[in-house]
Structure 1
Amino acid sequence: MKAYRFPLFLIAAIIIGSILGILLGERAEVLKPLGDIFLNLMFTIVVPLVFFSISAVIANMSNLKRLGTIMTWMMIVFIVTGIISSIVMIAAVTLSPPAAGVSIQFETPEEIDESLSLGAQIVQAVTVPDFVDIFSRTSMLALIIMSVLVGFATNLAGSEGRIFAQFLNSGAQVMRKLVGIIMYYAPIGLGAYFASLVGVFGPELLGSYAKAMIVYYPVAILYFLIGFTLYAFIAGGKSGVKVFWKNILTPAVTALSTGSSVATIPANLQATEKMGVHKDVRDVVIPLGASIHMDGSALAAILKIAFLFGIFQMDFLSFQTFAIAIGISLLVGTVMSGVPGGGFIGEMLIITMYGFPMEALPILAILGTLVDPPATMVNASGDAVSSMLVSRAVEGDEWMDEAERPAS
């Protein structure tokens, strides 16, 4: 019970927050600043944490070939799990169409800024024009790339870079301790944030989007419970399942409440350390996964497509439609998520690929907001179990036997 004490404390705080949200309604938004404090603390720590963690692990890596192996398997795992999540949601929306009986009045969307091409958006995602801009969570993918390059440069500097490598390693340790301090405030912050979410968005769940919510929430939760249990079993057998569920609740609850995979990086790094995932694996997979691995977003992309097909009374049941939908969900969940405004680009992609009118854009925006909490929970938790799968692929079947886990 000691290992589950803090996660259960977080869950209790969220339940209390949810009850307050129901009772207070929109007045619960007065509690939002308490949640914003926690969210801002996590966003503040995430930039130095990612920089020091990635740079330190590469700077101190004696075998750079291993890094290439880790990243190769990471991408394979991300793509395969993305395809699986897409197929799961296709099955769900086929059995229970999310737009059945729904009537939504179309509104003209706000004017869209098309001044930047997709190429320019990608440039913005992987680089920044000035050094100070790298220290922003809005430039997360650029920060990760720069952290990798700094780690490589330090490693290649040999003995002359040893002192800097020690500084990076020391910085990584200090940031992890700071995360532990911030997490003491998590029950208050997450409880308040969830009260605000339930109070503000609760009424919309009873409106035109209720059927889509009834489809998405159970599927996301079942994928979280059954899918991740299966992945953990593949990664480490019964021991893998046990160690995964023993440590995943804290990052899952953090992601569910904050709606941010980036804000969940610190909790995920702590959890995967306790799972026994090797330092170089978790320090690469977790930060990158927060930017480019989104199983929950892939589930949501399929739901959005099926929802629009139902509203416009189009036939969703065809192989070509399914194939395009899976392709879009992979782009939205693995590629677009690393691009500034990636969610918007993904929704635009859905509209243009199928020829829907632009008036459908607000529908997708609202639906995306309503499914965001469980989607983020699946996204972030998927990064943790993916790090276990990568560990098995890189280190072999006995990786759990050789793992050194800190005391819970």
Structure 2
Amino acid sequence: MNAKKQSVWKNYRFPIILILSIIVGSIIGIVFGKKATVLKPFGDIFLNLMFTVVTPLVFVTIAGAVGNMVNMKRLGKIISNMFLTFLATGFIAGLIIITVVKVFPPAAGVKLTFEAAKALETVKLSDQIVKTLTVTDFGGLFSRSNMMPLIIFSIFFGLCVSSLGAENNIIAKGLDAMSKVMMKFISIIMLYAPIGLGAYFASLIGEFGPQLLGAYARAMVIYYPLCIIYFFVAFSGYSYFAGGTQCIKTFFKNILEPSITSLATQSSLATLPVNLKATENMGVPKDIREIVLPIGATMHMDGTVISSILKISFLFGIFGQEFSGIGTYVAALAISVMGGVVMSGVPGGGLIGEMLIVNLFGFPAEAFPIIATLGFLVDPAATWINCTGDAVTSMVVTRLVEGKDWMKKSVQTLSYAIKG
């Protein structure tokens, strides 16, 4: 019995410490209110450390995974199945939230008073696509604001490295070594996480806690329970598809730390290092997790799809329009998926996506402060679903690439490694 308790403590010690630090931080925020914002710099230090390391981490993991891959057929299989899974889960999430908001309209009975907003900067869809996929110079690649261009560059760089041959490929081995160095760097930064996340939450609750009440309460009552249900039900289904009941147990055993980090930082990129470690513990092969997770942090956004459609239906209700019709639903799904790519990786950074929603649906400029406030309130849960969705997606892709028995093989490999 004592051995079992020790095993539980060993497996969950760090997540438990993180939860306790966030609880303490939240209590400080509630008790001291806005005075708790004095702790914000301690939280910002943690975020800045994570953001500083995430750009080189994305480059070396993707370029290294592709560069060390001899079998280009396997690479194509990973990427094609990854995008197929991204689209499938995003579509399922979209259908679920559309059904929910039709049954429980988030703006029903809500009457908001607001001041006229300043004129919005026009957002052209074509220009935004170009900015999302490319940068104007090489230096712009190495910024967390330009993750999609960096990912594209890393894939092509890795392909060029791989084309030189894997036999004694110094560059490929160097990228692999650098990937290990960066993960070690992350493990050192995470030692500061309990202090950083506790301080961050104290500041967050202290400054914005009162805004969680009022006109947006109904939307929150709809959104947060839905995210919790989606997390347990949909992700259990995806995990079962990936590898049966054993896969479900493995997923939920290892997903606590990424969940805590994503809720606290509200950033897919800040959670990426923790997610990489968690999926390694889940048994996801190195090449799959180091391709799927960095790309997923930028492109796989089930939580963002859910929150975006909630925002759209909320605005429809606020301005007395009916959220209905196949054309409206398809447009909402398309904008939500695209918005996930545009706004990914930045804490509370959905402003561009929210401008797109306001502009493309023809809402007046006054709609922007409404949707921006709603965006902030739903961002923690959206990021949580995005990040944990990346982890379960990596398991699904592994099943599609390596077959349904991949989990058993992974367990056997791990047991052999321990015995060795």
Which of the five TM-score ranges fits, normalised by the shorter chain? over 0.9
Partner residue in 2 for 1:231? 238
The CA distance in 1 between the partners of 2:96 and 2:167, in whole Å, is 52
Q: Which runs of 5+ in 1 are unaligned?
A: none
Secondary structure of 1:158's counterpart equals: coil
Structure 1 residue 274 corresponds to structure 2 residue 281: yes
Higher mean displacement: 321-330 or 2-11: 321-330
Partner residue in 2 for 1:45? 53
For 1:83, give the aligned amino acid: F
Structure 1 residue 313 corresponds to structure 2 residue 320: yes
Shift of 1:192: 1.2
Equivalent of 2:71 in 60, 63, 67: 63
Partner residue in 1 for 2:24? 16
The answer to whether the Cα contact below 8 Å between 2:266 and 2:379 also exists between their aligned partners in 1 is yes
Partner residue in 2 for 1:203? 210
The CA distance in 2 between the partners of 1:206 and 1:342, in whole Å, is 22
Shift of 1:162: 1.0
Equivalent of 1:88 in 91, 96, 102: 96
CA change 1:386–1:339 in 2 (3 A) is: closer
Structure 1 residue 181 corresponds to structure 2 residue 188: yes
Equivalent of 2:199 in 178, 192, 199: 192
Shift of 1:92: 2.3
**Alpha-carbon RMSD:** 2.1
Higher mean displacement: 15-24 or 117-126: 117-126
The answer to whether the Cα contact below 8 Å between 2:106 and 2:313 also exists between their aligned partners in 1 is yes
Partner residue in 2 for 1:255? 262
Secondary structure of 2:366's counterpart equals: helix
Partner residue in 2 for 1:25? 33
Equivalent of 1:77 in 77, 85, 88: 85
Shift of 1:291: 0.5
The CA distance in 2 between the partners of 1:46 and 1:97, in whole Å, is 38
The answer to whether the Cα contact below 8 Å between 1:90 and 1:322 also exists between their aligned partners in 2 is yes
**What does 1:105-144 correspond to in 2, within 5 Å?**
105-114=113-122, 117-144=124-151
**What does 1:296-375 correspond to in 2, within 5 Å?**
296-333=303-340, 335-337=341-343, 343-375=350-382
The answer to whether the Cα contact below 8 Å between 2:67 and 2:162 also exists between their aligned partners in 1 is yes
The CA distance in 2 between the partners of 1:28 and 1:166, in whole Å, is 47
The CA distance in 2 between the partners of 1:199 and 1:348, in whole Å, is 28
Shift of 1:236: 1.1
The CA distance in 2 between the partners of 1:258 and 1:159, in whole Å, is 38
Deviations 1:131-150 (A, max 9, x none): 22222111111111111121
The answer to whether the Cα contact below 8 Å between 2:70 and 2:165 also exists between their aligned partners in 1 is no
Shift of 1:198: 1.4
The answer to whether the Cα contact below 8 Å between 1:98 and 1:211 also exists between their aligned partners in 2 is yes
CA change 1:293–1:361 in 2 (3 A) is: same
Equivalent of 1:292 in 299, 309, 315: 299
The CA distance in 2 between the partners of 1:354 and 1:47, in whole Å, is 34
For 2:407, give the aligned amino acid: M
Shift of 1:308: 1.1
The answer to whether the Cα contact below 8 Å between 1:259 and 1:377 also exists between their aligned partners in 2 is yes
For 1:52, give the aligned amino acid: V
Secondary structure of 1:302's counterpart equals: helix
The CA distance in 1 between the partners of 2:349 and 2:299, in whole Å, is 10
Deviations 1:126-168 (A, max 9, x none): 2223322222111111111111121111111237971111111
Structure 1 residue 377 corresponds to structure 2 residue 378: no
The CA distance in 2 between the partners of 1:339 and 1:378, in whole Å, is 13
The CA distance in 1 between the partners of 2:201 and 2:344, in whole Å, is 26
The CA distance in 1 between the partners of 2:349 and 2:41, in whole Å, is 27
Deviations 1:11-55 (A, max 9, x none): 121111111111111111111111111111110111111111111
The answer to whether the Cα contact below 8 Å between 1:98 and 1:212 also exists between their aligned partners in 2 is yes
CA change 1:117–1:325 in 2 (3 A) is: closer
The CA distance in 2 between the partners of 1:396 and 1:54, in whole Å, is 23
Shift of 1:96: 2.2
Equivalent of 1:103 in 111, 118, 122: 111
The answer to whether the Cα contact below 8 Å between 2:301 and 2:386 also exists between their aligned partners in 1 is yes
The CA distance in 2 between the partners of 1:81 and 1:34, in whole Å, is 36
Secondary structure of 1:236's counterpart equals: helix
The CA distance in 2 between the partners of 1:366 and 1:161, in whole Å, is 54
Partner residue in 2 for 1:396? 403
Query: What is the identity percentage for the equivalent residue pairs of Structure 1 and Structure 2?
Result: 52
The CA distance in 2 between the partners of 1:90 and 1:107, in whole Å, is 29
CA change 1:311–1:119 in 2 (3 A) is: closer
CA change 1:201–1:234 in 2 (3 A) is: same
Shift of 1:338: 6.0
Shift of 1:314: 2.1
Shift of 1:218: 1.1
Q: How many residues end up aligned between the 2 structures?
A: 405
For 1:210, give the aligned amino acid: A
Higher mean displacement: 312-321 or 163-172: 312-321
Higher mean displacement: 378-387 or 229-238: 229-238
The CA distance in 2 between the partners of 1:391 and 1:159, in whole Å, is 23
Deviations 1:158-183 (A, max 9, x none): 37971111111110111111111111
Structure 1 residue 165 corresponds to structure 2 residue 177: no
Normalising to structure 1: TM-score of the pair? 0.94
Q: Which runs of 5+ in 2 are unaligned?
A: 1-7
Higher mean displacement: 320-329 or 304-313: 320-329
